[in-house]
Structure 1
Amino acid sequence: QNGKALLSCYISKELVASKGLNAGTIVRELGKYIQGGGGGQPFFATAGGKNPGGIADALAQAESYLG
């Protein structure tokens, strides 16, 4: 978006409770790949950064949270 990268993460409240996942933590970690940061709530968070080229790496790393 306008030369910048944007990531968002939504996790159902049920998965947050049963698996202990946290969208804010995940987005902060993935934000490193787009030279940015972010945060939010355990079930929804966003991150912005200045390196759109890092989105592919961030998405590849996101798979590790799905296992």
Structure 2
Amino acid sequence: MQTPIAVTIPEAVRLSGISRTAIYEALARGDISARKAGRRTLIGYDELQTFLTSLPQYRSGRG
């Protein structure tokens, strides 16, 4: 399967595991940018990956 160039909001939610609200909040903050194609909002696949890797890493408090 080829990697998509861009994904819709529902696809971004499914692929990332982040809630729809969190995606829209990231868009509002400018953490992710999107483009409009008619009524569809598209997020660049690479941009979504970059956003996810910019999130803090989970670190267990246990040693």
TM-score band w.r.t. shorter chain: 0.3 to 0.5
TM-score by length of 1: 0.34
Task: Identify the structure with the greater strand proportion.
Answer: 1
Structure whose alpha-carbon radius of gyration is higher: 2
TM-score by length of 2: 0.35
Task: Identify the structure with the greater helix proportion.
Answer: 1
